[in-house]
Structures are given as structure tokens and as C-alpha cells.
Amino acid sequence: MRTRILGARLIDPTSGLDRVADLYLADGRIAAVDQAPAAFEADETLDARGLIAAPGLVDLSAALREPGYGRKGSIASETRAAAAGGVTSLCCPPLTRPVLDTPAVAELILDRAREAGHAKVFPIGALTRELAGEQLAELVALRDTGCVAFGNGLASFASNRHLRRALEYAATFDLTVVFHSQDAALAEDGLAHEGPMAGFLGLAGIPETAETVALARDLLLVEQTGVRAHFSQLSSARGARMIAEAQARGLPVSADVALYQLILTDEALADFSSLYHVQPPLRSRADRDGLRDAVRQGTIQAIASHHQPHEADAKLAPFGATEPGISSVELLLPLALSLVQENVLDLPTLLARLTSGPARALRLPVGRLAAGAPADLVLFDPEAATLAGERWLSKGRNCPFIGHVLPGAVRYTLLDGRISYQA
């Protein structure tokens, strides 16, 4: 299969490439930029004039809900939704049923993802069995099956000693650990950022210190054990500053933020809409601005969807009785482009945080637009608009952005040179 992509503006954050040129794909890879390789005969030509071609988006966290949560989503449905959002590679968190703590579960996920063929799936394995925070999972066996990193979600460890040992073990084999730093006791029963809004609504608060206290401990243990660490789903400005300080003193840690944390604040909770119930919670405007700064400066090198699809019933209850999470992977690109529209980020920086940044964080062999790289691409029209929810592929409709008009529209997503989504 050979494809010629005609006249797109090519942007590759890694190389700094940003100009209009033709692109030649062959055998699932990018064969050449500008000039066709010798004897290149295209089976297909995509007229991409007016479109931007970028590396396919790399999403460090999208829950696929399979195995175990079929009412919320499946690997097929959610990877298909991801392709519509411009995503070609994604990591799925280990909170499945059974938990992704054995090679069998990892294999099942990888097989299903290959069958579906909508996106490359890189599983994140459970750091401990059942995510219980006590006994280590078989990390090396999981790595050999295809897990790219290990985490324990928001579930806490039985003790700091258990955590330290898990990190030491992971460090032995140069495995990456994904942290969701939130102190379970400080966050206990909490539903919303501890601030004026939670106080007003009478929702139990999750203080900023739930994040920063855990983050301080985690950073110290990372320093001590030398483990490769990635901090996921940062929610506070203070937390982002702590990451920056750690990076400044030479600790090689990376971080990501949920895209919705860069857009929404706890003010959205005013009407008790369960669509805004997320964990960690939406925080203050100052926190959002701090996170935006950290993304701009590169302290936070990845923006992830933290896609969490739910069945309707999961959100159909009073706020505190609902399940947290937003279904948003299929809006990843247009929703992210709203940050460019609002002058929060420039387009090349945004694309870096959505492609090369996350790929580097977890050492994924994707996220580049260059000759020889896999032909994972997104082609989008920056001048068109997306009416969110006009079509909806995810099983979870729990998305507060449905009905909004978002800037930019994905026209094609290509996975290994093949069209995985076409508008």
C-alpha cells in the first residue's frame, strides 16, 4: 500500500519541521518527505491541501474498559473513538476486571486491539496484584508481554515501605512507574476540590495537599530508588511546580495532565452536574493557569485524554453517588485545539504535548513525522469546526463538551499508512 499525501502543512514537533510539502507512505512507514522515492507509484492519493498533517496523537491514558466493563466500553469501541480524535497510539490503565496484573490479561487486550485495528494500544500494567498495594505484580513478565509502564492508579499502597520496594524492583529492570499522586487519607470521601465551590455546594473537599503531600513523598522515593517515573493527571499548580523543581535538580521525571484540567475548573460544578465529577478533581482557576504554564514550559510534557467512558446509569445519580470520569478521547484533537484558539498554547507546542512529548515520556516508538517512522498520522482542517457529539463512537456519552462547537476537524487518521478514520 502506497499513499501520497498532497500539499498538507507538515508539522513534526521532534524535528521542528513545519512547512507545506508532500508526503509519501509505503509499507506502513513514511517513505519520504517532499520528493517521491524512486519508482514510487501511489495506490492512493489524498488531496490534503489546506490540511495540517501531524504525527498521530499519543494518548497516555484512555480507559478501554475491557475486559470487565462491557457496559462502559470495549477495546473496539474506544479505540475507534480514539481514531476519530486523531489518536493513533494510546496507553490503557490497568483498572480492568480482572486487573491487568497478569500477562494473560495483557495479551487479551493486545489481541483485541490488533483485531480492531483502530489504534496502537500500549498497556500500562498494574504495579501490584489487584492494585491492592501489597504484593508486586510480575512486572518483568508483563513487560515481556507488552506493558510499557506500571502504575497503581489512585489506589494507595499498604505502606510507604511497600511503595519503596515496588519502586526499587521496577528500577532494577529499568521499568517506568506511572504515579497518580493523591494521598488517600487526605482525599477520603472527597468529591471536589476543597475550595469555595465545594464549600458552597456542601461537597466533601479534596485538598490540594492530597496531591502535594503524596507527590513530595513520591518524588523523594523516586530520587532514592532511581526509578524511571512519570507523574500522571496532575491537578494542582503547586504539584506542577514541585515537578519543575524536581526536574531542575536533575531528577528525570516526566508528567502529564488531563486535557479537561486545562479547560475546566471547579466552577463547573455549580449545578451539581455529574459530568464534571472527576478524580483527581477539577481545581481552581489558579491551578488551571498553573497547569497551563507548566504545559507551555514543558514541565508537563504530555497532555492526555484520561478518557473514562461510562454507561448512562453511572452518571444518573446525585453527584456523590456517580462514578468519576469524562469520556473525551474522540474529541482529543479539537478540544486541544481550543487551547490554541484561546492563545494558551501555540500549535507546534500543543502538537508536541500530544505526540512526541508523551511518546518520550513512556519511550514509545511513535509520535514522529519523519522518513522511516511509522506512518501514524492525523490530517486535520484547522479552519473547520467540530460539533462535538454530532456523531459519537465511544460507548460513554459522559462528556460535558457534547454540543459545543470546537475548532478544527479531523479529516483522516492513518495508522501504519492505512486510514483508520475518515470524516
Partner 1 sequence: MTGPKRVPAMTPNDAKRPLQLNDQGRLRHFLSLDGLSRELLTEILDTADSFLEVGTRAVKKVPLLRGRTVCNVFFENSTRTRTTFEMAAQRLSADVITLNVSTSSTSKGETLFDTLRNLEAMAADMFVIRHADSGAAHFIAEHVCPDVAVINGGDGRHAHPTQGMLDMLTIRRHKGGFENLSVAIVGDILHSRVARSDMLALRALGCPDIRVIGPKTLLPMGLEQYGVRVFHDLDEGLRDVDVVIMLRLQRERMQGGLLPSQGEFYRLYGLSTARLARARPDAIVMHPGPINRGVEIESAVADGAQSVILNQVTYGIAVRMAVLSMAMSGQTAQRQLNSESEEQI
Binding site for partner 1 (CB under 8 A): 49-50, 191, 194-205, 263-264, 267-268, 270-272, 274, 313, 316-322, 338, 341-342, 383-385, 400-401, 404-407
DSSP 355-397: THHHHHHTT-S----STTSB--EEEEEEEEEEETTSS--SS--
- Residue 196 neighbours by CB under 8 Å, 6+ apart: none
Considering the complex, state which of residue 127 and residue 336 has its C-beta at the smaller distance from partner 1.
336
Contact present, 106 and 147 (Cβ < 8 Å):
yes
The least CB distance from residue 387 to partner 1, in Å, is: 11
Considering the complex, state which of residue 222 and residue 314 has its C-beta at the smaller distance from partner 1.
314
The least CB distance from residue 385 to partner 1, in Å, is: 5
Distance (Å, rounded) from C-alpha 369 to C-alpha 88? Answer: 13
The least CB distance from residue 394 to partner 1, in Å, is: 19
Going by C-alpha positions, the residue among 384, 390, 388 that lies closest to residue 412 is: 384
List the beta bridge partners of residue 387. Answer: 405
Identify the residue whose cell numbers are 520528493. 35
Identify the residue whose cell numbers are 524511571. 228
Considering the complex, state which of residue 50 and residue 298 has its C-beta at the smaller distance from partner 1.
50
How far are the Cα atoms of 116, 131, 270, 386 from residue 261, in angstroms, in the given order? 30, 25, 16, 20
The least CB distance from residue 77 to partner 1, in Å, is: 23
Considering the complex, state which of residue 204 and residue 370 has its C-beta at the smaller distance from partner 1.
204
The least CB distance from residue 350 to partner 1, in Å, is: 15
The least CB distance from residue 318 to partner 1, in Å, is: 4
The least CB distance from residue 196 to partner 1, in Å, is: 3
DSSP 136: B
The least CB distance from residue 232 to partner 1, in Å, is: 23
Considering the complex, state which of residue 119 and residue 336 has its C-beta at the smaller distance from partner 1.
336
Q: Residue 250 region, left (φ>0) first, then alpha (ψ -120 to 50), else beta? A: left
Considering the complex, state which of residue 245 and residue 346 has its C-beta at the smaller distance from partner 1.
346
Question: SS3 of 238, please?
Answer: helix
Considering the complex, state which of residue 209 and residue 247 has its C-beta at the smaller distance from partner 1.
209
Considering the complex, state which of residue 73 and residue 205 has its C-beta at the smaller distance from partner 1.
205
Cell numbers at residue 83, please? 481514531
Distance (Å, rounded) from C-alpha 37 to C-alpha 17? Answer: 19
Considering the complex, state which of residue 58 and residue 399 has its C-beta at the smaller distance from partner 1.
399
The least CB distance from residue 164 to partner 1, in Å, is: 27
Q: What are phi and psi of 354, to 5 degrees?
A: -105, -5
Distance (Å, rounded) from C-alpha 133 to C-alpha 160? Answer: 10
How far are the Cα atoms of 28, 54, 157, 222, 349 from residue 414, in angstroms, in the given order? 9, 10, 40, 37, 22
Considering the complex, state which of residue 168 and residue 381 has its C-beta at the smaller distance from partner 1.
381
Q: How far is CA 74 from the centre of its chain?
A: 17
The least CB distance from residue 409 to partner 1, in Å, is: 10
